[in-house]
Amino acid sequence: MSSDLDERIAAAFADGVTSADVISLILEAEGAALASGKSAEHARERALDPTLTATAVVQARREIEDSAFRRERLQTGSVATTG
C-alpha cells in the first residue's frame, strides 16, 4: 500500500477528522483495493504460464502475495473507518 494512503487511513481514527474526509478516504481505499486485486490476478496468470522461468515464477508469486495482502489491508481499513 502506498505509505501516504496507509498513513491517512491510520489518521482517520484520530479526533478532528471530518466525515467528508472519511468518505473520501473510504472511496480511495476501495479503489486501491480493487486495483490490488487486479494486480494479484494478473500476477497469478503470469505465474501459471508454463513458459516462465523459475525466477520469474518466484517474482510473480511474491507479487501475488503482496497484492493480495495490500487488497485485504485496504479492505480492512475501509471497513474499520466506517465503524
Q: pLDDT by residue (tens digit) across 15-52?
A: 788 889 888 988 999 999 999 999 999 999 999 999 99
Q: Read off the pTM.
A: 0.80
What is the number of alpha carbons within 13 Å of residue 64 lying toward its C-beta? 14
**Residue 1 has what pLDDT?**
47
pLDDT of 11 over the 90 cut: no
DSSP 16: T
Q: Is residue 65 predicted with pLDDT exceeding 70?
A: yes
Region at 16 (left for phi over 0; alpha for psi -120 to 50; beta for the rest): left
Radius of gyration (Cα) for the chain, nearest Å? 16
- The string of DSSP letters for 40-65 reads HHHHHHHHT-TTS-HHHHHHHHHHHH
As a whole number, the mean pLDDT across the chain is 90
